[in-house]
Amino acid sequence: MAVSELIELTSEMKDRIVQRWPEHGEGRIKMGAQLIVSQGQAAVFYRDGKSLDVLGPGRHTLTTANIPLVTGLFSKILTGKESIFSANVYYVAVREFPQEGWGTRQPIAMQTPGQGLGWLLLGAHGTFGFEVSDPKRVVDTFVGGGQSILDLKEVKMRLVNSITQAATDWFAEVNPGNLMKAQSMMDEMATAIKIKAQDQFEAMGMLLKSITIGGLSPLETSAEKLKQMGLLDAQTYMQLQALETIQKSSQGGGGAGMGVGLGTGMGAGVGMGQMMAGMFSGIGQQPQPQQAPAGGPPPLPQAGAFYAAMGGQQAGPFDLNALRQHIQSGQITKETLVWKEGMANWIAAGQVPELASLFGGSPPPLPPTG
């Protein structure tokens, strides 16, 4: 390449963060050459995998005084004004980018105790403003491997990832509990995100100057999606499947007619939450063994215990004596849905052979007198 006595970027950096000079190959620069840097730009000299001297806007005559790092690298050959050295110059846009849009690509999970499935998946969006604070770090982070240009959209992708991660962390720490409260806290959320994301911006040579939350919107929330996100363990997921069976049965005419589903947007409401609260109250707790009288034999093993759908909630487990008492009191009928280990689905109690005798039968007519 010919020796350059004038270094200038002629193309506009409208949607570009970094542009290398020359675009291809390595430049041969004469000591004493003119370097022109426009307003809103910085010029970074680069050689052998290292960012060297940085010059701001203006017209610069290259001397050992204003490029000391370059001079030190080529100290043996830069002996006079006519000396020539090889290097690249990266032009970096240091102006502010004030109104960039951001939005979540993956849903944010918010806990909603007692409502729906206990979680609500949300989408968030807004705007943010940023600028380059460290041109050398930007070059080292994004283009040091030989890339000649860096477009705004490539940088923006990484910046938005930092913002959405900060938003996810905020929900995990603050846990508003419901969508309405979360929406009332958007200003507080924006402030927290700016603080949390700033370290990641700085690590890339950027400064997050402002951020706004444009809105929070509920997304489809299902047990399957929560399981895929690691928010439901296998046992809880199976319990939710059992609830779905109850719901389908009640809609078909049997059961108590709870009318709730697993797929929700803003949550299926308190009814579903109460059912789940009863269902999950025993998860993770070990059953307490029955204590035998001192010196006596151990208690007899309990017969196959049943669970029942009572008052819109799962109740139990009940042995046969307990079931008989609930049947006699009218709390359990032939239409009440029951389940025990080994059964594929919840079914009406009157259809379970081993429970049929508990409901009794109609006596035969009295014999004729006389």
| Cα gap 271→264, rounded to integer Å | 13
Amino acid at 268: A
Are both 265 and 341 inside the same structural domain? yes
**CA distances (Å), 216 to each of 104, 117, 129, 137, 359, in order?**
10, 19, 20, 34, 53
Are both 237 and 354 inside the same structural domain? yes
| Closest among 164, 161, 156 to 125, alpha carbons compared | 164
pTM of the model: 0.66
Residue 343 inside a domain? The answer is yes
Quick one: pLDDT at residue 363? 58
* Domain interval for residue 310: 232-281+303-359
For residue 190, the SS3 value is helix
Tally of domains in the chain? 3
Among 191, 218, 245, residue at a domain's last position:
218
Give how far the C-alpha of residue 204 lies from the chain's centroid of Cα atoms, to the nearest Å: 22
Are both 238 and 355 inside the same structural domain? yes
| Cα gap 132→130, rounded to integer Å | 7
pLDDT in tens, 247-260: 666 655 444 433 33
Are both 250 and 160 inside the same structural domain? no
Residue 185 inside a domain? The answer is yes
Residue 298 inside a domain? The answer is no
Among 218, 250, 270, residue at a domain's last position:
218
Are both 68 and 116 inside the same structural domain? no
Residue 15 inside a domain? The answer is yes
Are both 160 and 50 inside the same structural domain? no
| Cα gap 84→121, rounded to integer Å | 61
Are both 16 and 128 inside the same structural domain? no
Are both 87 and 108 inside the same structural domain? no
Residue 262 inside a domain? The answer is yes
pLDDT 10s per residue in the chain (370 long)? 688 899 999 888 889 999 999 988 889 999 999 999 999 999 999 998 899 999 999 999 999 899 999 988 887 666 656 688 999 999 999 999 999 999 999 999 999 988 878 899 999 999 999 999 999 999 999 997 678 999 999 999 999 999 999 999 999 999 999 999 999 999 999 999 999 999 999 999 999 999 999 999 999 888 888 888 888 887 777 877 777 666 666 655 444 433 334 444 444 444 455 555 555 444 444 445 545 455 555 554 445 688 888 766 777 788 888 888 888 878 888 888 888 887 777 888 888 888 877 887 655 566 676 5
| Cα gap 3→148, rounded to integer Å | 20
Amino acid at 19: Q
pLDDT in tens, 222-234: 888 888 888 888 7
| Closest among 80, 75, 197 to 128, alpha carbons compared | 197
Are both 160 and 41 inside the same structural domain? no
- Report yes or no: 54 and 43 within 8 Å, Cβ to Cβ: yes
Are both 112 and 71 inside the same structural domain? no
pLDDT in tens, 273-287: 555 555 544 444 444
